[in-house]
């Protein structure tokens, strides 16, 4: 029997990258591939879970070059430190891993997420193939690929700022994007320049750009590059084994006791920080609902914000948890709709579960994802801000009622769910691409 490929996978150390790469690893491992998963030492030490169950996934670590007390939410700091420290250490790690089983199942391919292009470059120098796993949508990646053209056409300047507010379409059949909502908008000069460099690196060293999406979800985007390889949605059943943070699973028992389609699930992912006034208004909005809610209020990662609840908040109609087993929750029959920041992972998870969305985008690609949800797939509504940029409790109440009574949205959710699941089943296009990728890695 031929030996299946051995992948070294290395995510940028934030949850929105670690999770999809772990899910992808689990899918590859289910096919019998061998996986060496590289965590930073810091993430490994803070991880509250005991890791994946599959025997063919091994966890290893590399230092990120920062001290334990350093602020890892400072992207400039962590990126610079990782780039200084890790490329020198990776070749030795690869040598040691290969030597472990007498060089009989050497690493065939390195898979990195965005910001980890340096790892593909290191692999290239060692004669190892490279692929990118894009943790965002294919459209977000395509926007970044188009940056040189956008600069040439004077749509954005050399620092990524729009030359004027306008709506453009980077390719036919892709949602129209307001130039002030480009995924990099507001990230600053350092990160924009980093993105431009990173794109060049993945063009040079990433033979495939694996995307957690499908041809049906983003049909207009794949003509932009032959490197796109949609393999999604990435779904593994090992929900609580891949997360960095400990999940509060008591909410699943609580959900079991709720009537079907009666609970509003509210979660803003791992990074979004809401200001205290908006937080208060959301709390009071949830109090106003006729429905129960399950609300994830993440403790601050970095002490930048510590929410307090408003004095007049009752909260008796719901449950609040600090971190939830989101994929299990979205697939629970008691869930009626998902108030989401529209991070790509949450978006895909919601589509796969067939749950209607109320969209509340904050930053980066979340606006683009919202356009897919509301305008292209038509499986949700947007929560609209007032003139002060504030979402009121009445808007929350109004839109919850509206989305739950909209039969078109419900029908579309079920249709998108079916299409999405078909892609990963035997004979589906995503499943076909996955097999193509595994055989490519082997030769």
Selected binder of ligand UDP within 123, 160, 232, 343 (CB under 6 A)? 343
Which alpha helices (DSSP H) does 315-406 contain, by range? 326-330, 344-353, 366-371, 393-404
Pairing between strand 292-296 and 318-321?
Answer: parallel
By rule CB under 6 A, what string of x and - marks binding of each residue 271-310 to ligand UDP?
x------------------------x--------------
Span near ligand UDP by CB under 6 A; candidates 15-23, 72-80, 395-403, 419-427: 15-23
Based on CB atoms, which residue is closest to ligand UDP, 246 or 439? 246
98 binds ligand UDP (CB under 6 A): no
327 binds ligand UDP (CB under 6 A): yes
User: For the chain, how long is the longest CA-to-CA vector?
Assistant: 66
Closest distance to ligand UDP from the beta carbon of 251 (Å): 9
Side-chain half-sphere CA neighbours of 355 within 13 A: 34
> Which residues in the 354-373 window bind ligand UDP by CB under 6 A?
none
CB 184 within 8 A of CB 159: no
| Residue count, binding to ligand UDP (CB under 6 A) | 18
117 binds ligand UDP (CB under 6 A): no
Side-chain half-sphere CA neighbours of 51 within 13 A: 17
349 binds ligand UDP (CB under 6 A): yes
Closest distance to ligand UDP from the beta carbon of 324 (Å): 4
346 binds ligand UDP (CB under 6 A): yes
140 binds ligand UDP (CB under 6 A): no
Tell me which residue has tokens 């809401």: 274
Selected binder of ligand UDP within 10, 19, 38, 142 (CB under 6 A)? 19
Tell me which residue has tokens 């129960």: 292
Selected binder of ligand UDP within 24, 184, 265, 323 (CB under 6 A)? 323
344 binds ligand UDP (CB under 6 A): yes
The tokens for 394 are: 């009445």
- Hey, what's the torsion of the CAs at 20, 145, 378, 18, to 10 degrees? 10
Span near ligand UDP by CB under 6 A; candidates 170-178, 257-265, 283-291, 322-330: 322-330
211 binds ligand UDP (CB under 6 A): no
Span near ligand UDP by CB under 6 A; candidates 103-111, 112-120, 187-195, 320-328: 320-328
Closest distance to ligand UDP from the beta carbon of 170 (Å): 21
Over the range 128-162, which residues count as b (16 or more CB within 10 Å of their CB) and which as e? bbbbbbbbbbbbbbbbbbbbeebbeeebbeeebeb
What are the distances in angstroms from CA 163 to CA 152, 166, 167, 175, 176?
Answer: 12, 9, 12, 20, 17
By rule CB under 6 A, what string of x and - marks binding of each residue 228-247 to ligand UDP?
---------------x----
Closest distance to ligand UDP from the beta carbon of 240 (Å): 9
Strand partners for 320: 295
Closest distance to ligand UDP from the beta carbon of 187 (Å): 14
Identify the DSSP state of 3: P
* SS3 of residue 269 by DSSP: coil
212 binds ligand UDP (CB under 6 A): no
Closest distance to ligand UDP from the beta carbon of 326 (Å): 3
What contacts 24+ positions apart, CB below 8 Å, involve 349-354? 349/233, 350/379, 351/217, 351/233, 351/377, 351/379, 351/416, 351/417, 351/420, 352/233, 352/235, 352/417, 352/420, 352/421, 353/327, 353/417, 354/413, 354/414, 354/416, 354/417
Closest distance to ligand UDP from the beta carbon of 20 (Å): 7
Residues that bind ligand UDP (CB under 6 A): 15-16, 19, 243, 267, 269-271, 296, 323-324, 326-327, 343-346, 349
């Amino acid at each position: 029997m031929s030996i299946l490929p051995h992948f070294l996978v290395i995510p940028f150390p934030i949850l929105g990258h670690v999770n999809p790469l772990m899910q992808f690893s689990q899918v590859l491992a289910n096919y019998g591939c061998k996986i060496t998963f590289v965590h930073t030492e810091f993430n490994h030490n803070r991880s509250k879970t005991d890791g994946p169950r599959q025997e063919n996934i091994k966890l290893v670590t590399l230092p990120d070059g920062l001290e334990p007390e350093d602020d890892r939410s400072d992207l400039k700091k962590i990126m610079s430190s990782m780039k200084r420290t890790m490329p020198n250490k990776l070749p030795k790690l690869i040598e040691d891993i290969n030597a472990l089983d007498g060089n009989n199942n050497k690493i065939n391919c390195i898979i990195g997420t965005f910001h980890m292009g340096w790892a593909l470059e290191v692999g290239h120098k060692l004669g190892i193939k490279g692929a990118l796993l894009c943790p965002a949508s294919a459209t977000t990646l395509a926007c970044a690929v188009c940056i040189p053209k956008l600069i040439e056409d004077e749509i954005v300047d050399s620092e990524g700022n729009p030359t004027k507010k306008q709506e453009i379409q980077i390719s036919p059949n892709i949602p129209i994007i307001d130039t002030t909502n480009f995924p990099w908008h507001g990230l600053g000069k350092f990160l924009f320049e980093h993105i431009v460099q990173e794109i060049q690196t993945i063009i040079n060293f990433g033979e495939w750009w694996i995307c957690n999406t499908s041809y049906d979800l983003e049909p207009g985007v794949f003509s932009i590059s032959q490197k796109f390889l949609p393999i999604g949605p990435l779904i593994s059943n090992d929900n609580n084994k891949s997360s960095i943070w400990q999940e509060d699973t008591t909410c699943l028992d609580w959900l079991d006791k709720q009537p079907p389609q009666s609970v509003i699930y509210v979660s803003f992912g791992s990074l979004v920080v809401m200001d205290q006034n908006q937080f208060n208004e959301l709390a009071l909005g949830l109090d106003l609902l006729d429905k129960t809610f399950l609300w994830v209020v993440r403790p601050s990662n970095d002490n930048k914000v510590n929410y307090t609840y408003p004095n007049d908040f009752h909260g008796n109609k719901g449950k609040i948890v600090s971190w939830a087993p989101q994929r299990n929750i979205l697939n629970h029959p008691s869930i009626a709709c998902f108030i989401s920041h529209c991070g790509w992972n949450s978006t895909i998870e919601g589509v796969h579960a067939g749950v209607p969305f109320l969209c509340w985008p904050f930053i980066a690609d979340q606006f683009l994802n919202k356009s897919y949800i509301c305008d292209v797939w038509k499986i949700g509504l947007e929560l609209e801000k007032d003139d002060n940029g504030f979402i009121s409790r009445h808007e929350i109440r109004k839109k919850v009622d509206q989305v739950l009574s909209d039969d078109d949205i419900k029908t579309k959710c079920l249709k998108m769910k079916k299409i999405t699941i078909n892609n990963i089943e035997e004979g589906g296009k995503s499943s076909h691409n996955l097999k193509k990728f595994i055989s490519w890695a082997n030769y």
